[in-house]
Amino acid sequence: MLSSPLPRRGLLGLALLPGIAGIARAQAPVAVVASFSILGDLVRQVAGDRARLRVLVGPDADAHDFQPRPSDAAAIRDAALVVRNGLGFEPWMDRLLRAAGGSPKVATAAQDVTPRRLPGGAVDPHAWQDVGNAVLYARRIAAALAEADPAGAATHATAGEALAARLRALDAWVREQVATVPPARRVVVTTHDAFGYFAAAYGVEFRAAQGISTEAEPSAAAVGRLIRQIRAENITAVFVENLRNQTAQRRLAAEAGVRLRGSLYADSLSPPDGPAPTYEAMIRHNVGLLVPAMRGEG
């Protein structure tokens, strides 16, 4: 399995491995609950089959207005570890944890992220849209898994660093892609304000008729303003999101005289047979749509 030379520390650690592996094989996988699909994928990338994973808000489902079921509380009660995003993304989580009982460790994936504040002071929870933040998520998740599953601590640490390295490469790829778009063309219209961290990290401006959460319908005034901006500034990158009401956005595009460039994945992954079944696939899918659309190609 180990094909590359290990650093000295790794070699010393190896002396312990057979014993640890023997114990680990005798144990059931550790029960982990992740709040939504994107975190579920990051947990799976680190833990592999050492975790029996339950994802509360699955593919193509909306964590902003999730209604927990009794079976979700039961899963939390039996879990060794619950992984949530934090930053207010799961407003239902604290109540669910209290109602569920049990004594799982609770890890907040976004704990080490610098929160983005919105005008008015609220915090934007969509930190994973900056791949640099996902590196921090990977490390936090690996540390939490190591604590919840001490027998697998070395495995989780190694897998966490491997994921972090892949995500750093992905972050560099996003920067390269965005750099091919002339700066004045880096404007995108989408459905809700989910891309603030992406915007700040990669220098792309996002505009949306709907706010940060998905509870309120966009106002007619906000939609009208966006339509005027699309026309006046010749904005070609107009998108829907996989979870949102697409009817309003279709009307907006029609009135602005532009075609929709596809569906961005903001707050959830796609099912396994869709275009964004993992976090890394989601970022590649979104950037693969955004870049040609901003350039006005096709």
In the complex, the smallest distance separating the C-beta of residue 194 from Zn ion, rounded to whole angstroms, is: 4
- Chain positions 149 to 178 lying near Zn ion, rule: CB under 5 A, are none
41 or 267, CB closer to Zn ion? Answer: 267
171 or 241, CB closer to Zn ion? Answer: 241
Residue (of 131, 96, 101) closest to 113 by Cα position: 131
Contact 173, 223 (CB under 8 A): no
**How far apart are the C-alpha atoms of 283 and 45, rounded to whole Å?**
15
Please tell me whether residue 194 binds Zn ion under the rule CB under 5 A.
yes
Contact 240, 246 (CB under 8 A): yes
Please tell me whether residue 134 binds Zn ion under the rule CB under 5 A.
no
In the complex, the smallest distance separating the C-beta of residue 64 from Zn ion, rounded to whole angstroms, is: 5
Which residues share a beta bridge with 122? none
Contact 261, 238 (CB under 8 A): yes
In the complex, the smallest distance separating the C-beta of residue 120 from Zn ion, rounded to whole angstroms, is: 16
Task: Tell me which stretch binds Zn ion (CB under 5 A): 16-24, 174-182, 201-209, 265-273.
Answer: 265-273
Size of the site for Zn ion (CB under 5 A): 2
In the complex, the smallest distance separating the C-beta of residue 89 from Zn ion, rounded to whole angstroms, is: 7
Phi-psi region of 202 (alpha: psi -120 to 50; beta: other; left: phi over 0): alpha
Please tell me whether residue 267 binds Zn ion under the rule CB under 5 A.
yes
176 or 217, CB closer to Zn ion? Answer: 217
In the complex, the smallest distance separating the C-beta of residue 218 from Zn ion, rounded to whole angstroms, is: 14
Please tell me whether residue 243 binds Zn ion under the rule CB under 5 A.
no
**How far apart are the C-alpha atoms of 220 and 158, rounded to whole Å?**
51
Task: Tell me which stretch binds Zn ion (CB under 5 A): 138-146, 189-197, 243-251, 269-277.
Answer: 189-197
Please tell me whether residue 124 binds Zn ion under the rule CB under 5 A.
no
In the complex, the smallest distance separating the C-beta of residue 158 from Zn ion, rounded to whole angstroms, is: 32
Please tell me whether residue 38 binds Zn ion under the rule CB under 5 A.
no
In the complex, the smallest distance separating the C-beta of residue 193 from Zn ion, rounded to whole angstroms, is: 8
Residues in CB range of 33: below 8 A, 6 or more apart? 53, 54, 55, 56, 72, 75, 76, 79, 81, 82, 83, 104
Task: Tell me which stretch binds Zn ion (CB under 5 A): 19-27, 153-161, 171-179, 267-275.
Answer: 267-275
Residue nearest Zn ion, CB atom distance: 267
Please tell me whether residue 75 binds Zn ion under the rule CB under 5 A.
no
**How far apart are the C-alpha atoms of 84 and 33, rounded to whole Å?**
9
Scored b (16 or more CB within 10 A) or e, 95-127 reads ebbeebeeebebbbbbeebeebeeeeeebbbbb
32 or 264, CB closer to Zn ion? Answer: 264
Residue (of 7, 43, 9) closest to 143 by Cα position: 43
Q: In this structure, what DSSP letter does residue 271 have?
A: P
Would you give the distance in Å from CA 283 to the centre of its chain? Answer: 9
In the complex, the smallest distance separating the C-beta of residue 88 from Zn ion, rounded to whole angstroms, is: 11
Which residues bind to Zn ion, rule: CB under 5 A? Answer: 194, 267
